[in-house]
Structure 1
Amino acid sequence: MAKRPWVLPMLLLSGLINHTSNLNAESLPRWELGIGGGLIQLPDYRGSNETHTYPYPVLLPIYRGEYLRSNTDGIQGIVKLTPKLEFNLSAYGNVPVTNDNAARAGMDDLDPLLEIGAMLRYKTWQSPTQQQAIIVDFPVRTALAIGEQIRQVGYTTAPRISYRHQFNFLNQPWRWSISAEALWSSAALHRYYYQVNSEDATDWRPVYTATAGFAGTRLRTSLYHRQRNQLFSLYAVYDDVSHAVFADSPLVKQHTGLTIGFIMTWFLWQSQETVAIKRWE
């Protein structure tokens, strides 16, 4: 009989992970305010071969309302259309890029971007205990460059499918998610990152005109652990631009990139009022 070295670890793990329904019956404060910090390491931009590590100060407001939520996913306005379909806000951010980046040497610095817009969220499946779910998101966002002035620099959409799982590990509650998304963006947004105008062209950086279209794929995963007034967050993002319309830009130096980070948050203030939380959305 063939040896199966993975059997014992799997049996041990199955005993440590306890799929109990009491995770669904949490009574939590209506609002909380936490402070904390962490570190994040990420590429200068998607397609860059240079990375930087940033300290990550956190002021995290949590609000658990029927039509307004604020949590680790950001601030969301919620409109329930059906039990499985909702309309809410969508936001995403990108760091600034300086000409210290070798590929952009001599070019103008890039301001940080804030992407904000609307999103349809559809829950395609949920387990009977409400501890597991598969969710599909359809966001459409406008990109704003935040500098001395705020200016609009294009549009993007990133349909995403996510699997979310709540479980007990060593009698402690954990939340894990993994998602895959495909990105499409306007020509203006691609020009912001990947265009090379004639005045910026060199012998090694030829003129390049960016166009609208497919912007690659992204895989995300995150792990959360909450214990009393502390929240630990660990996350990673893997980007692939190998089939993006801008993949042949001279500013694209590698086709894959990894972002990793962690945050520790301490909740110091909270409301006396509590609400029943039966699911993670």
Structure 2
Amino acid sequence: MARATVLFIILLLVGTSTTFADAEERPLWEIGFGGGVIQIPDYRGSSESGVYPYPFVMPIYRGRSFQADEEGIKGVLGESNRLRLDVSFYGNVPVNGDNDARAGMETLDPLLEIGPMLRYKAWTASRHRQSLILDAPLRVALSLGDGVDVVGYALTPRASYRRQIDLCDRPWKWSISGELLWGSRDLHRYYYQVDPVDATAWRPAYDAGAGFGGSRLRTSLYRRDRNRLISLYAVYDHLGGAVFEDSPLVERQGGLTLGFVVIWFPFQSNDVVKVNQWEWTTE
């Protein structure tokens, strides 16, 4: 899978949203075109990163049970005012052979994580359309190379605070979230294992285990009107306390991802559906 395709998956899930009213009729489907720039570490704990400009295509579909929209790809399994059960997705970029820490080791295919996510809207306030949402996603990690293989499992509970802010007399959506990461042994081995055959004088053999995988802080600022979406985002990964933090492939405990994307929507269906942005709706 091309790096640009994987970045499409990640950016779709980083957290963009809308500024529509709580319930409003919107097109059943839209197709958007745009582009952006992302700076991202080769993997969590790597001292090397890249800056990648990329084109961007965003198909949007607002179905009853499946949705691909500005909040990401979601399969809505059930919903109430406070609780929601989704199918969640997340992606990780491939690691090529030009990474110095992994010199001589096999390249790593991109990973796609997929699984159920239970969501609880713990607090809301009508002023500034504020909300605090607790998420508990449990996902299986799949490597996407010549075939599709199960790599391991991840549990990443998070708390997200969202609110509307006004910038230049226009409403924007701002969110900040913190999450804790746990992973299976096989998932951690995928990135941080050093087999004896790959050991060198400066890269000793290492056996990664299951358990705590660090923490993540992310924030995003975005605006959507009828024909355009603008999103800016940042993600900070911290590996302090991770069960694999003493792996020779972990070169630093912190890593920062930065990016932005601008998308225009020239194609929209004539059919409309009523949209209720659950994440932003106050009771």
The equivalences for 1:74-93 within 5 A come to 74-93=72-91
Q: Aligned residue for 2:12?
A: none
Which residue identity is paired with 1:164? R
Aligned mates of 2:58, 2:268 — CA distance in 1: 12
Aligned mates of 2:276, 2:97 — CA distance in 1: 48
Aligned partner (choices 198, 205, 229) of residue 231 of structure 1: 229
User: Which one is further off, 189-198 or 32-41?
Assistant: 32-41
Q: Aligned residue for 2:3?
A: none
Change (3 A) 1:26 1:173: farther
Aligned mates of 1:122, 1:227 — CA distance in 2: 27
Tell me the SS of whatever aligns to 1:174: strand
The equivalences for 1:132-143 within 5 A come to 132-143=130-141
Query: Which blocks of at least 5 consecutive residues in structure 2 are unaligned?
Result: 1-18
Q: Aligned residue for 1:260?
A: 258
Return structure 1 stretches of 4+ with deviation > 4 angstroms.
none
| Cα RMSD for the two superposed structures | 1.9
Aligned mates of 1:127, 1:26 — CA distance in 2: 20
By how many angstroms is 1:30 displaced? 2.5
8 Å CA contact 1:36, 1:57 repeated in 2: yes
Q: Does 1:57 align with 2:58?
A: no
By how many angstroms is 1:136 displaced? 0.7
TM-score, with structure 1 as normaliser: 0.87
8 Å CA contact 1:145, 1:153 repeated in 2: yes
8 Å CA contact 2:77, 2:87 repeated in 1: no
Aligned mates of 1:209, 1:37 — CA distance in 2: 40
By how many angstroms is 1:153 displaced? 0.6
Aligned mates of 1:89, 1:128 — CA distance in 2: 28
Deviations along 1:86-110, one digit per CA (max 9) or x if unpaired, are: 1111111111102211110110101
By how many angstroms is 1:226 displaced? 1.9
Deviations along 1:122-177, one digit per CA (max 9) or x if unpaired, are: 11112136811111110011111111121111000100100111233333221111
Aligned mates of 1:174, 1:100 — CA distance in 2: 39
Matched pairs, number: 261
Q: Does 1:177 align with 2:178?
A: no
Tell me the SS of whatever aligns to 1:66: coil
Query: Which blocks of at least 5 consecutive residues in structure 1 are unaligned?
Result: 1-20
Deviations along 1:239-275, one digit per CA (max 9) or x if unpaired, are: 0002100000000000000000111101011122334
Aligned partner (choices 162, 165, 168) of residue 164 of structure 1: 162
Aligned mates of 1:70, 1:166 — CA distance in 2: 22
TM-score, with structure 2 as normaliser: 0.87
Tell me the SS of whatever aligns to 1:257: strand
8 Å CA contact 2:237, 2:255 repeated in 1: yes
Which residue identity is paired with 1:227? D
Aligned mates of 1:254, 1:109 — CA distance in 2: 20
Q: Does 1:125 align with 2:105?
A: no
By how many angstroms is 1:278 displaced? 5.0
Identity %: 55
Q: Aligned residue for 1:103?
A: 101
8 Å CA contact 2:86, 2:116 repeated in 1: yes
By how many angstroms is 1:231 displaced? 0.7
8 Å CA contact 2:128, 2:165 repeated in 1: no
Aligned partner (choices 201, 213, 216) of residue 215 of structure 1: 213
Which residue identity is paired with 1:37? G
By how many angstroms is 1:85 displaced? 0.8
Aligned mates of 2:275, 2:169 — CA distance in 1: 19
Deviations along 1:157-215, one digit per CA (max 9) or x if unpaired, are: 10010011123333322111110000000000000000000000001100100000000
Higher-Rg member (1/2): 1
By how many angstroms is 1:84 displaced? 0.9
Q: Aligned residue for 1:205?
A: 203
Aligned mates of 1:114, 1:184 — CA distance in 2: 16
Aligned mates of 1:72, 1:22 — CA distance in 2: 11
Aligned mates of 1:34, 1:22 — CA distance in 2: 17
8 Å CA contact 1:23, 1:167 repeated in 2: no
By how many angstroms is 1:276 displaced? 4.1
By how many angstroms is 1:74 displaced? 2.2
